[in-house]
Structure 1
Amino acid sequence: MEALALRAPTAAPVAGRFGRHGGRYVPEPLIPACAEVEAAFTEAWADPGFRGELARLLSRYAGRPTPLTSASRLSAELGVTVLLKREDLAHTGSHKINNVLGQALLARRMGKRRLIAETGAGMHGVATATAGALLGLPVTVFMGERDVERQAHNVFRMRLLGAQVVPVRSGSRTLKDATSEAMRHWVGVTEDAYYCVGSVIGPHPYPWMVRELQAVIGQEARHQCAEQLSTGTPDQVVACVGGGSNAAGTFAGFVDTPARLVGVEAAGGASAARGEVGVLHGFQSLFLQDEQGQIREAHSVAAGLDYPGVGPEHAHLRDLGRAEYVTASDEEALAAAVRLARAEGIVPAIESAHALAWVVRAAGTAELPTGGSVLVTLSGRGDKDIPTLMTYLNDEETR
């Protein structure tokens, strides 16, 4: 399939709200910075020149469109047609490059001289470091100390690309604390630096902007499904959800179709499935909270899903009943990653394997009836997770 022109821009949500969620809850010094980003993106996104430059980079640099792969052996095993949207084949190995190229171009247009980012699994950090190298912008990435240890492969990639990686030693030492530290740092450097948020989280305009930049996933997948499925549209569209950018981008292509939308969270970080309304990192949404309303730590074997909240648009889709949010355990995700590797020769990121795990569990039930079709977004590749998968397989062999 030839590269598609980027879809027509959608209007920003009024006051940055998706229903009761979203908004802009930031310290006073960041109000002008967020407003500056909103104005700049609104202008750029309506500019055919900006969108054309981004489309060219996505095609000639990032490798879009990514394929839609029919997982024939897995489909035969499960009794359902499984189609895989292969974001693992995009440059840098995940969907993160779609968003980062757009934001990095925006930063350059705004006259910013360096980029700030947070990262959990390291894929957003790698993508930001890549864009920084491409455009000549220095990059500083904040990453929880625990994630630095378990994602050493991606830490090296970031440093190889010239980025500075700052370990965050506070709190749980994971993505939540890396995001907090990045935002604190941004307060003092807004004139010089651009904060490149990695998911559909944060204060307005970030949840809307990141969804717009990731909507290319769903746009492509919809056209590809129309070519490959006799029904034109899959019965179900499934993606993993942490903050939720790959799912938001995928769902954007199908929200106006009859397809059932399913977001799969880590069982230890099920904010959309079991969270309560609260505020964190500049936006209102669903978060894991204790009886006093304090944010509880999330847990997942997948560092990219180790976040205690979900993007505000996901919370709104749940409120509307348009999307459903379910969970998969660490064990289910690891088993699904191994199963896909052995059935199809594809090693997915453990984050993506959560979506596969739900498909494996639901296939042949009322949730995913035999003979149906399901589109699964593989948000990233599993190179970074090899040490975890090695431990899992070794433990499995000794049981």
Structure 2
Amino acid sequence: MTAFVVEPAFPVRLTGTAFERGLAQAAAGVAHETVFAATIGRVEQARAEGVLDAAALEFLHRQRAFLLESDPHTMAELAGIAEGFDLPEDELFIHQHLSLLRDLSKGAGLDADGCSTFAIGEGPEGPLVVKNRDFSGIHVGIQRVFLHEGPDIETGRMLCVGSAGSPGAYSSGINAAGLALVDTHIGSRRHGIGWLRYFAMTRILATCRSVPEAIAFLRARRHAGGGSVTLADRYGHVASVEFGTDLLGVEEGRRVWRTNHFVSPELSPFNFTDDGDRIDANSFDRFAYLSREVPVGDWTVPRAARLMATHAADGPHCGPLCQHGEKDAARTISSAIFACNMLQLYFLEGNPCEGRWRVYDLTG
């Protein structure tokens, strides 16, 4: 890995109502055809694979009605994105549900989606939340760091790592109260009508100021299921939450970590397996590596950056946190480190073993 070099950077600023913030995404400097390929193109592929059958369409109809009532702000942001990029809103809505729909179709056309995360509640630089984002290579180039300000954001403002064409905290974020969160994809055998993980993450950043508040928010709602979030706040609270539908797997402590399988006793029976392992093949290796490394020593931003740049070939017992895929295969497309006390995001697009870090200041 190269030296830890950081340069200041500025986010794409989105202000106004949720709809207006969605509309403003079109001015973020991403070619419309690139957004089309990463969103509508993936929906068209799923349709060709038979994922969008009658049962899936009925599920989407009920899910849309639920979210319009339960989360009108994120739905309004999605509508603004559709108008700004001149894309069909219904297709963008389907895109938000693709990983869930593939689970319902017994893993058809396995999505190239991973991620490794951890959070610590104490250290020389205070609480940190860290994520390697592993996703299809087609999302390289459409990632953006967005600064959201608007009347629905009760916490004042939020800094989100997302992708053009998707609303809110599509990957991770931090708010002005010092609450940060990141997610991982986890295939599940149990889904239902309820909150999408990305939508819940956005509302948490908009309304919650601490990890206990975020957990209470999640416990009070029904979820579509699948995936996890890892959280920390400036008070040192740390947690990981795994998503079922009517139940959650919650782990609280000083240090937590997650990859791409359920580990809680509540959710582990619902890991997606069907004629082989549905879970990303190296999820257990990455989890084992984090289990050895995260509990040991003091964590700083540079040390976290070095850890997330690790490859399996770097030495005995190393885990493949930094992944190099080909074409549309899963690869590490970015790395994010949130410093809760400093209200900063350290962000690197591409593989963390070879890129340059940028720092975004939520207060600036």
Greater Rg over alpha carbons, structure: 1
- Structure number with the higher helix fraction is 1
TM-based fold match above 0.5: no
What TM-score does the superposition give when structure 2 sets the normalisation length? 0.30
